[in-house]
Amino acid sequence: MLDPLLDKVRIVLVNTTHPGNIGATARAMKTMGLTRLHLVSPQGFPSAEATARAAGADDILARAIVCDDLDEALTGARLILGTSARARSISWPELDPRQAVAEAATTAGDVAILFGRERYGLTNKELQRCHYLVNIPSNPEFHSLNIASAVQVLAYEMRMSRPAAGETEKPREDLLASAEDMESFYEHLEDTLFQTGFLKTGQPRVTMMKRLRRLFNRAKPDTTEINILRGILSTIQKPKNRG
């Protein structure tokens, strides 16, 4: 994999207490294509629990770099981002995850994103190493986001920011029915509904056909679908096996 953004980002977990969170972080990273994990003085790593929660992302764990202090984990990093709950005593430039990823994408060189301790996050001293704080918007009454979930959100934004992400909405393979096919269908529909007695002559008929046009236009049927619908109408007009 060669990706200009994903390859230059390292995730730095500072003093993580629960090995399960390290494993879940590795999994969150790998699902989005991130590979570089730095662990500053983690508790209980490596561990079976981390491997279990990694659920197949154990290659990320195996390549994780365990560091004694933050300096070591930040070696070579250019842009440093620190995740933080809002309303810190420290006043520091703040970005939301989408802005942070845009900043990372337009910065040359390595990017480090810091995630703090389960209980109290990053210290003010650690936050002051950062160019920006990253604030994940959350419920003001409950902003206790799990660390691996915070990594997931940032990693997801990185994945979304890639050019390929815009291609998730696959264009429909079949051509939409042509304007004239749609008109023929509506004529056929109106004839059939008149024949069955659903439509009578007069104004309600016009209003009803307008409603049905709105409904079927919204569905944007393709050529095959219009053929199916017309097949149905033909069978209604001349039922062969009516019971």
* Residues engaged in binding its own copies (CB under 8 A): 24, 27-28, 30-33, 55-57, 94-99, 135-139, 142-146, 148-149, 152-153, 156, 159-160, 162, 164-165, 168-170, 193, 195-198, 208, 211-212, 215-216, 218-221, 224-225, 228-229, 231-232, 235-236, 239-243
Class of residue 98 by CB neighbours under 10 A (exposed 0-12, middle 13-18, buried 19+) = middle
Q: Which is nearer to its own copies, 42 or 97 (CB)?
A: 97
- CB of residue 46 to its own copies, shortest distance in Å: 20
Nearest residue to 174 via CA among 224, 135, 125, 126: 224
CB of 38 to its own copies, least distance (A): 20
Q: Which residues pair with 142 in a beta bridge?
A: 139
Q: Which is nearer to its own copies, 69 or 86 (CB)?
A: 86
Q: How far is the CB of 183 from its own copies (least distance, A)?
A: 18
Distance between CA 85 and CA 103 in Å, rounded? Answer: 19
User: Nearer Cβ to its own copies, position 203 or 241?
Assistant: 241
Alpha carbons 222 and 127: distance in angstroms, whole number: 55
Q: Which residue number, 124 or 196, has a Cβ lying nearer to its own copies?
A: 196
Nearer to its own copies by Cβ, of 100 and 122: the residue is 100
Q: Per DSSP, what are the bridge partners of residue 40?
A: 14, 67
Q: How far is the CB of 72 from its own copies (least distance, A)?
A: 28
Shortest spacing between CB 241 and its own copies, in angstroms: 4
What residue type is assigned to position 137 of the chain? P
Measured from the CB atom, the residue of 67 and 134 that comes closer to its own copies is: 134
Residue 54: DSSP 8-state: H
**Can you give the three-state secondary structure of 73-102, one letter per residue?**
HHCCEEEEEEECCCCCCCCCCEECHHHHHH
Q: Say how far apart CA 222 and CA 63 lie, in whole Å.
A: 50
Select from 126, 20, 145, 22 the least CA-distant residue to 82: 126
- Report in angstroms how near the CB of residue 196 gets to its own copies at its nearest: 5
Reference 181, options 143, 212, 150, 220; nearest CA is 220
**Chain CA centroid to CA 101, Å:** 13
